[in-house]
Amino acid sequence: MTDDNAGRDGQRPTPTQGVPASLAAYARPATLLRPTAGDPGPRDSSVGGPMLWPADEPWPVCRAPHVVRKRERLSEGDRELWQEYDRRMKARRRARTPGASVMTEEEDAARTRIMDGAAALDLKTWERIRTVSEHPRTPAPMIPVLQLRTQDVPDLPVPEGTDLLQLLWCPDEHAEPPGQPRYWGPNAELRYRASESVDEPVGPPRPARAKDVYTPRPCVLAPIRVVDLPEEGDLPAEIVETAHAWAEARGVAYARRLACLPGWKAGGWPSWHLTDLVRIDCACGARMRLLLTLDSGGDPRLNMGRSGELRVFTCPEDLTHPFRLGMQ
């Protein structure tokens, strides 16, 4: 592998040559997908493009609860009480009373009662806003997000007899959908298939509700194979110093330049740049491996979490085991 092509933000692939042997033992193959706005066809690798989907196969739908925001108007008495406490606090601030910005016990107790566990208060409409999960009246069709051919991503793990990976999701918020603990975002589904088995692909139905941040702009891909290295937490302590010395000799930081490469990616290592490392285990006991990284921004115009990454993990022992989702 060479340094001839750059990925997002000038990211260059890590060459296998020159990597210290102790560190190279932890290298994983990866493919930077590099999506750019385009007009992909159903037989192409793409983001947000048409999928190779057989007409006789039901289109997947989301049956998980969706996150919705409920509004409840305050009573006149509670609205007036809230405003009265606001006036008192402003008066304390004008008088420069010590602790002017701290509510009294009376004020705090009253506001806690008025909010009644709601997440926010709209001071224009005087409505409490609650975040709850509800099943939609009818199951929502999922939308195409990513399609990868093994011809374009040779290291892609797929079941024997298949050559196509498809990721679909419900473009709405979900709080811990089934099988996805500690996850908030679109509910997703993976499909594998043999492309030669589909003669006449069918187009997808459209959901009645879809968030723009979860609806990808159609993009073609320019895949490039690279070598990805783990972050410090996935390395033995005695190798960490070697990794940083090697990176320093190259004039770059180890994290996100030589390890856990950012951007749209198949394979490689996940970054834990917002949290401590979280080990994700399959129900069978195997440690799950990173299958896909979907990034915010760029031509697909997605926004995962707070401009972060959505990652898909699969079991290295058996691809039929349930996958896991995570945000970072």
The total domain count for the chain is 1
Residue 303 phi/psi, 5-degree rounding, is -140, 100
**28-32 β-sheet, strand order:** 224-228, 28-32, 265-267, 289-295, 309-314, 324-327
| Within-domain flag for 75 | yes
Residues 6+ apart with CB under 8 A from 270: 260, 290, 293, 311, 313, 326, 328
Q: Report the alpha-carbon distance of residue 233 to residue 276 in Å, rounded.
A: 8
> Measured in whole angstroms, how far is the alpha carbon of residue 27 from the centre of its chain?
23
DSSP character string of 215-239: SPPPEEE--EEEEEB--GGGS-HHH
Asked whether residue 241 is domain-assigned, the answer is no
Domain that holds residue 80: 67-134
pLDDT tens string 127-161: 999 999 998 888 999 999 999 999 999 999 999 99
Residue 120 belongs to some domain of the structure: yes
User: Do the domain assignments include residue 84?
Assistant: yes
Cα–Cα distance measured from residue 2 to residue 293, given in angstroms and rounded to the nearest whole number = 22
Amino acid at 174: H
Residue 97 lies in a domain: yes
Instruction: Quote the CA–CA distance of 116 and 276 in Å, as a whole number.
Output: 33
pLDDT, tens digit only, all 328 positions of the chain = 333 333 333 444 445 567 899 999 999 999 999 999 999 999 999 999 999 999 999 999 999 999 988 999 999 999 999 999 999 999 999 988 888 888 899 999 999 999 999 999 999 999 999 999 998 888 999 999 999 999 999 999 999 999 999 999 999 999 999 999 999 999 999 999 999 999 989 999 999 889 999 999 999 999 999 999 999 989 999 999 999 999 999 899 898 889 999 999 999 999 998 888 889 999 999 999 999 999 999 999 999 988 999 999 999 999 999 999 999 9
Do 184 and 173 contact (CB within 8 A), yes or no? yes
128 lies in some domain = yes
By the 10 Å C-beta count (0-12 exposed, 13-18 middle, 19+ buried), 165 is classed as: buried
Do the domain assignments include residue 139?
no
Instruction: For residue 104, tell me if it sits in a domain.
Output: yes
- Give the largest CA-CA distance in the chain: 78
